[in-house]
Structure formats: structure tokens, C-alpha cells
Amino acid sequence: MDKGDEKKVVSAAPDAVENKLKQHTSRRGFLKKAVVSTVAVTATAALAKKASDLIVEPDYEKAVADEILAGDKSLRAREYVLMTDREKKDYLHALLENSTKAD
């Protein structure tokens, strides 16, 4: 671009502003633009919120189901041995002694 073109571009901006200032504005036109702008901003915010919820929100039901399945699998893999009554009493006695020491 040569210098003459730059002057044309710069001089076009003030003309556009002057034309905008010369236009008659009414209360009805102002309110119409304000309402349209408000609706557009609100709709954009709602759409952004829904999109972010879909992207970020994890599937809690699947996570819980996966956790339960993993726990069930580990429980099935264990071998349990029955305790005798004497072992139960000894274990309970040790448990109670340790709980009173912690207080």
C-alpha cells in the first residue's frame, strides 16, 4: 500500500462514526437493540454452560458400577477361613483393648 491508500482508510473511520452519530435514534430502537443483545448474550451463556457440562461432567453411575465390580471381583478371589469361637473372643478382646488405649 502506498501512502495515499493509508489516508483513505484512516479517513473512512471518522466518516462512519459521524454518520452513526447523525442517525436519529429512538427509544424504541434502543430498547430493541438492548433486548436483542441481552437475548444473544443469555443464549450464548446457556449454550456454553450446557457444552461445558457435557464435556466435563463424568459419568458417576459408570464409575460406581466399575468400583463395585472391582470390589466384587477381589472378594471372589479371596479364600475365607472360619474362625473358632475362641479366636473370635481373642480378636474381640484385642480390638476392645486397643480402642480404649486410643482414647
Residue 59's pLDDT is: 77
Residue 80's pLDDT is: 79
Q: Please state, in angstroms and rounded to a whole number, the distance separating the CA atoms of residues 96 and 28.
A: 80
- Residue 72 contacts by C-beta under 8 Å, 6 or more apart in sequence? none
Count the Cβ atoms, other than its own, within 10 Å of residue 86.
8
Q: Please state, in angstroms and rounded to a whole number, the distance separating the CA atoms of residues 99 and 103.
A: 7
Residue 54's pLDDT is: 74
* pTM over cut 0.75: no
pLDDT tens, residue by residue, 44-83: 999 988 888 777 667 788 888 888 988 888 888 887 788 8
Assess contact for 46 and 53: CB atoms under 8 A. no
Residue 45's pLDDT is: 92
pLDDT of 1 strictly over 70: no
